[in-house]
C-alpha cells in the first residue's frame, strides 16, 4: 500500500449535482433512476440519458460494485488508480481505487465505496477492494 495520499480538489456542485454531493457529505452514494423507462444512471443529470424523460429520482446505492476497467498512474509523485466501477445497482461511474496494493487490482474485482476528504469541499466517493 502507498503511504502517501493525493490531495483531491473540492468538487464544484451544480444544481443538478447538489443532491449527489449532499449525499456524499452524509456518507451516502446516490444515483438516479428514470421512473419512465426504469434505467439507473450516473452521472446525475435532469434528463434520462436512455429515453430523455425528466422523470428521474434519486436512490441510495449499496456502495458495492466491481471494477469494470482501471489504469494505474505511476508517472506522478503519488501513484494512483483511476477506474470505472459498475455499481451493484447497474450504473458505472468513474472513480479512484484507494487504500490498496495497486499491483493487485484486477478487472471484475469486488469493491466497496469509501468517502475520501477533499480540499475544502464535500468528500468524493472512491472505492477500495471489498
Kindly tell me the sign of the dihedral angle through the C-alpha atoms of 87, 115, 23, 54: negative
Residue 2's pLDDT band (cuts 50, 70, 90): very low
Domain ranges of the chain: 18-129
Q: What is the mean pLDDT of residues 94-107?
A: 97
Confidence check: pLDDT of 4 > 90: no
pTM: 0.92
Share of the chain above pLDDT 90, in %: 92
Report how far residue 110's alpha carbon sits from residue 8's, in angstroms, rounded to the nearest whole number.
23
18-129 carries CATH number 2.60.40.10: no
Amino acid at each position: 500500500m502507498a503511504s502517501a495520499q493525493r490531495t483531491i480538489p473540492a468538487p464544484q456542485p451544480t444544481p443538478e449535482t447538489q443532491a449527489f454531493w449532499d449525499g456524499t457529505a452524509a456518507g451516502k452514494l446516490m444515483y438516479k433512476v428514470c421512473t419512465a423507462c426504469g434505467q439507473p444512471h450516473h452521472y446525475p443529470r435532469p434528463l434520462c440519458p436512455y429515453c430523455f424523460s425528466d422523470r428521474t429520482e434519486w436512490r441510495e446505492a449499496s456502495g458495492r460494485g466491481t471494477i469494470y476497467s482501471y489504469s494505474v498512474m505511476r508517472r506522478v509523485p503519488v501513484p494512483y488508480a483511476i477506474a470505472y466501477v459498475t455499481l451493484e445497482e447497474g450504473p458505472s461511474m468513474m472513480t479512484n481505487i484507494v487504500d490498496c496494493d495497486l499491483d493487485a487490482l484486477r478487472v471484475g474485482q469486488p469493491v466497496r465505496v469509501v468517502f475520501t476528504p477533499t480540499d475544502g469541499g464535500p468528500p468524493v466517493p472512491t472505492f477500495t477492494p471489498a
